Amino acid sequence: MIAYVAGRVTALAPDGAVVDVGGVGLEVQCTPSTLAALRVGETARVPTSLVVREDSLTLYGFADDDERATFELLQTASGVGPRLAQSVLGVLSPTALRQAIATEDLAELTRVPGIGRKGAQRIVLELAGRLTGIGEPSALAAASPGGRADWRGQVHAGLLGLGWSTREADEAVAAVAPEAEAMGPEPSVAVLLKAALQTLSRS
C-alpha cells in the first residue's frame, strides 16, 4: 500500500494532480476539496490509497487520513467502487457521511451522483456503526451538540498532512476561526482549509 506521496506538485487537473516523487511524476485522483489545497510548484504531502485492477493501477489522494480511511471503508459496501466512493467524498465530508448514516438520512446520501434511494439504503444498512472512530476523536464531535469544534480537528489534521508544523497549523486554525463562526453550525472544512493555507502562504 502507498500510504502517502510527498513532493512537488507539477500539474493540476479538474480530477487530479501530478506529484513529483524522486523524479517520478505520480498521477493522483483527488476530490475538489483536496485539489483546492494544492498549488503547482509547492511541496505537498497527500494521503493516498492504491486501487489495483487487472488493467490499471490508480492512486487516489485525500485531504487527510480520515478521508482516506472513509474512502476505503465505503468500498466494503455492496455496489460501491472506488470512483463512487470518491464521488461520495466529493459531496460529503467524512463527518457529514457519518451523520447521514447514523440518522438514516437517505436524502443526504442521494445527493451523490450515482446513488439512488436503494443504494443509499444499502449503504446505511451495511455501514451503520462501522464508520465510527475513523480518524481523530474530534471527527466524531459533529454528531453531538458540541460538534462545532469538529472543523478545527479536520483542518488541523489536513495542514499537518500537507507538511506544516503543529505550531503553524495551530496559528492557521486560530486565524480562520472567525470565518468558521460566520458560517453557522456546519462550517465547510474544504473552504476553511483553503483559507488556512492562504493564511500560511502570506506569513
Domains and CATH numbers, the chain: 4-61 (2.40.50.140), 65-127 (1.10.150.20), 138-202 (no CATH)
Secondary-structure percent of the chain, ordered helix, strand, coil, rounded to 5: 50, 20, 30
| More reliable by pLDDT, 74 or 198 | 74
CA distances in angstroms from 107 to 91, 102, 110, 112, 165, listed in the order given: 13, 13, 5, 10, 39
Q: What is the pLDDT of residues 39-65, one digit of tens each?
A: 999 999 999 999 998 888 999 999 999
Which residues have a Cβ under 8 Å from the Cβ of 57 and sit 6 or more positions away?
A: 50, 51
Whole-angstrom Cα distance, residue 63 to residue 33? Answer: 7
Q: What is the mean pLDDT of residues 100-106?
A: 89
pLDDT the model gives residue 124? 92
Average pLDDT over all residues of the chain: 85
- Region 124-131 average pLDDT: 83
pLDDT over 70 (residue 156): yes
Amino acid present at 202: R
- Phi and psi at 114, nearest 5°, equal 100, -5
Helix axes 150-161, 189-202, angle to 10 degrees: 50
Q: In this predicted structure, which of 116-120, 148-152, 197-201 has the lowest mean pLDDT? A: 148-152
The confidence band for 141, taking pLDDT boundaries of 50, 70 and 90, is very low
Percent of the chain past pLDDT 90, that is, above it, reads 48
| CA-wise closest residue to 136 among 146, 116, 151, 118 | 151
What was the pLDDT predicted at 144?
Answer: 34
What is the percentage of the chain residues whose pLDDT exceeds 70?
A: 89
Residue 129: the pLDDT is 74
